Amino acid sequence: MEHLAYISGKIEIKNHECFVGNQKVDCPQSGKEGRTSAGTYKLDLLPPNQSLEIRNDLIYELILLAVIIFFALISIFKIKIFGKTLGEYVKPIWYFILICLLAVAWQYLYGLKMADNYLALRISQWVWELAILASAWKLSRIPSFSYANMFFLGILYSLIIHGTKVTIRYFFYQSTFWYIIDRFLYGSLIVMAIAFVLGSVFVYLNKEKSHKQG
């Protein structure tokens, strides 16, 4: 007779496989819309929230479309944010943005598929962190860039890097709203610490240098 075993306990995900203790089990599945099982992943900032452990492709697609339209409009009509157009933010650092996107693509295309991937994924994270730092430094050397501009730089990189990441997680890894909100906020804190906080330090040092020379 076929032996059937019921496995109880918290499900942990390791390398895209699910385990309860040392026992491998089937991972919970979810459809395009509906509720998924909580407790199958680790939240870094937010507490568990069963009401948002859901998926709804239409809502997510509308949010994503709204973000794309917003950036398209401010780019087409050259709307200034803190005195700068989107082009003035992007043109001096476009190659750093490209490096960040390539690092994210590598993480999902290759890094997550590696057997022992912790160090490789950590290095890829350092790559986009250094690219953000270099961007903040380069923009801070433009005299007209201010602390407010560094704040928007942080928002811009958060949407580029972690907006891309949570979109991949939502559509290809069946993540819930609550999980991607947690990941976006956590990743954005890292970005803001580099772009806004350290960027503001660069702005201050350049202003002090200019003041002394003047």
What pTM was estimated for this model as a whole?
0.83
Q: Is residue 6 part of a domain?
A: no
Q: Is residue 112 part of a domain?
A: yes
- One-letter identity of residue 183: R
Counting every residue written for the chain, the total comes to: 214
Q: Is residue 141 part of a domain?
A: yes
What domain count does the chain have?
1
Structural domain boundaries, residue 85 = 12-213
Q: Is residue 4 part of a domain?
A: no
Residues 80-95 have pLDDT tens digits of: 999 999 999 999 999 9
- Among 93, 80, 190, 91, which residue's Cα sits nearest to residue 136? 93
Regarding predicted confidence, which is higher, 107 or 26?
A: 107
Q: Is residue 5 part of a domain?
A: no
Q: Is residue 1 part of a domain?
A: no
pLDDT at 26: 57
